[in-house]
Amino acid sequence: MLDKINSLIEEVKAFDAQTLEEAEAFRVKMLSKKGAIPALFHDFKTVAPEERKEMGKKLNELKQAATDKVNTVKARIEASEGKLKQSADKPDMTMPVNFDPVGTRHPLSVIRNRINSIFQRIGFVISEGPEIEDDWHNFSALNFPEEHPARDMQDTFFVEKSPDIALRTHTSSVQVRVMESQQPPIRTISPGRVFRNEAISARAHCIFHQVEGLYIDEAVSFADMKQTLLHFAREMFGEGTDIRLRPSFFPFTEPSAEMDVSCTLCGGEGCTVCKYSGWLEIMGCGMVDPNVLENCGIDSKKYTGYAFGMGIERIAMIIYQIRDLRMFFENDLRFLKQFEAAT
């Protein structure tokens, strides 16, 4: 038996492997339940008593040597394979650089953020609301009469043919929710996506984006509104920008006006962009109708206010000289890459 132990010790010392599979096969051969070393431990009971001390010592040395050898070989193989994998993962610095395309902000996001920033700097807060609205918040609270054409299906997307639930046609519905939930002073803007049942063309779309503003407090005047919008126009289009207000009509404001800015291209001299008028229309505005205040639980005898609303696409088309509204929605990378420098 001693000769067999010495033979196995020599075999363990001489063993080497190149793969983990070979090392595992050697472990099974030597150390598994049916391996050579456990078999010797099983035969140890037949050894003469005077030989057991030496034989036991040799058996333990054999088992420890086999265990250490298997662990050492496996560790070496695993380390070698790890280095090979690390070498394979390491980039080849001699290869030409492949720059991955960098994403950019959408031009509508750029303009929306600029508009929000201008009004936030003068005390307006941002309010948001649902895109699916009920009749009260979208129409009735805003003083739309029952026969108003905006309530017709050819102008509005109604949900499941319901006469009371529709995709909002303006973000004024958010202003109604603000007025219902808090008392003046209120100074808020409501950016968001709106929907109208219009044929898609270069100048119109069934989806577009608005920023609407509302300011309600005691003794708010039309002059306050004019000065605020002049400040916005000069921040947005440049210090030399002028504005003009033309009489108009909206159900939720009285008096109402359309606001134009002097053409940024020709400086008011007249060009093809402004149709030789020197002016570009950018928004509607006016003093909040007392009926709207009362509908929202605000005392119209004590408080007054102004509201305004502009299309983000309209502002973007003016600033970036874009002639076709559909380009904002087509996800054409050739178009979007032109705004990589925009912030």
Residue 67 CA to residue 59 CA, distance in Å, equals: 12
What is residue 194's three-state secondary structure?
strand
Residue 121 CA to residue 113 CA, distance in Å, equals: 12
Run of H or E residues at 311: strand 304-311
Shared-domain flag, residues 30 and 135: no
Instruction: Tell me what the mean pLDDT of segment 126-153 comes to.
Output: 85
Name the band, by pLDDT with cuts 50, 70 and 90, for residue 314. very high
Across the chain, mean pLDDT equals 87
Domain ends where: 59, 89, 119? 89
Task: Look at residue 337 in the predicted model and tell me its pLDDT.
Answer: 85
Instruction: Tell me what the mean pLDDT of segment 12-23 comes to.
Output: 85
Shared-domain flag, residues 188 and 64: no
Q: Report the 10 Å Cβ neighbour count for 153.
A: 11
Rg of the Cα atoms in the chain: 40
Q: Indicate whether 310 belongs to any domain.
A: yes
Q: What is the pLDDT of residues 22-47, one digit of tens each?
A: 888 888 888 888 888 878 777 777 77
Do the Cβ atoms of 340 and 99 come closer than 8 Å? no
Is 286 a residue whose pLDDT tops 90? yes
Q: What is the pLDDT of residues 209-253, one digit of tens each?
A: 999 999 999 999 999 999 999 999 999 999 989 999 999 999 999
Residue 67 gets the label, from left (phi > 0), alpha (psi -120 to 50) or beta, of alpha
Task: Look at residue 217 in the predicted model and tell me its pLDDT.
Answer: 97
Q: Positive or negative, the Cα torsion across 213, 216, 221, 227?
A: negative
**Boundaries of domain holding 47:** 2-89
- When divided into structural domains, the chain yields a total of 2
Q: What is the CATH number of the domain that holds 324?
A: 3.30.930.10
What is residue 298's three-state secondary structure?
coil
Q: What is the pLDDT of residues 100-134, one digit of tens each?
A: 777 788 999 999 999 999 999 999 999 999 999 99
Residue 60 CA to residue 56 CA, distance in Å, equals: 6
Task: Look at residue 264 in the predicted model and tell me its pLDDT.
Answer: 80
Do the Cβ atoms of 194 and 150 come closer than 8 Å? no
Closest among 62, 63, 86, 84 to 18, alpha carbons compared: 84
Higher-pLDDT residue of 103, 308? 308
Higher-pLDDT residue of 188, 68? 188
Shared-domain flag, residues 46 and 149: no
